[in-house]
A and B are shown apart, each in its own frame.
Chain A
């Protein structure tokens, strides 16, 4: 079965630094998402992306966050200036229909 891949699996960064989390969605999917899960909490929606633009974003997704689909295959989440509270698992997902396929996640640790 096709799968969503994410790199890196673990990213450690200093507070205030920029990070870029990368995702390769399933090739024929049209909808792309980022979610995050802070340790011990629920999976939270961050942003959805369709037709090369953001279709919806949550309150968490402030000006420090941005997403891009720079080419036909990658989908990236950038955090411009990381904060301690950005430490979480970040999941990318893609869909062509209601069912979303999730990647294995990137664990972001902000020190």
Chain B
């Protein structure tokens, strides 16, 4: 049951250009959406999040857009840098009370070419 889907397993962009990573979800009850970045042999590192009541959140080079009607979110990285090359996971959270469980997508491998 893929409640969070990242349909592009990989993406390649040139340094300095924009990277757009996409994510779709099926459960309208999710409260938050988060993006994590993961290097090989390391744990996921939090990048940016957005509440389900917002449609945009920006932090430096990273911006997340949420389209609730389409159940779609995207992460924009601009300008992209070679150090951004990693696997990016979209995650959704339905929480409150005693649990904040993350449901992850399968990830998108971003390669930024110098």
Contact = CB atoms under 8 A, between A and B. Distances in A.
Interface of A: 4, 6, 31, 33, 35, 41-45, 48, 50-51, 55-56, 91, 93, 95, 97-105, 107
B103 A102 contact: no
Nearest to A104: B43
A55 B99 contact: yes
Judged by DSSP, the binding face of B is strand
Judged by DSSP, the binding face of A is strand
B32 interface: yes
Nearest to A3: B43
Contact of A55 (B34, B44, B98): B98
Contacts of A100: 34, 46, 100, 102
B43 A105 contact: yes
B100 A95 contact: yes
A48 B34 contact: no
A51 B105 CA distance: 28
A101 B46 contact: yes
26 contacts: A6-B43, A31-B99, A41-B106, A42-B105, A43-B44, A44-B104, A45-B101, A45-B103, A48-B99, A48-B101, A55-B98, A55-B99, A56-B99, A56-B101, A91-B44, A93-B43, A93-B102, A95-B100, A98-B31, A98-B49, A98-B93, A98-B95, A100-B34, A105-B41, A105-B42, A107-B41
Nearest to A96: B100
Interface residues of B, number: 25
Nearest to B36: A102
Instruction: Name the 6 nearest CB pairs between A and B, nearest first.
Output: A102-B43, A42-B106, A55-B98, A55-B99, A50-B98, A43-B104
Contacts of B34: 98-100
Given A56-B101, A100-B102, A42 B107 contact: yes
B45 interface: yes
Given A42-B89, A93-B43, A95-B100, 8 more contacts: A33-B101, A41-B106, A42-B104, A42-B107, A44-B104, A100-B46, A100-B100, A104-B41
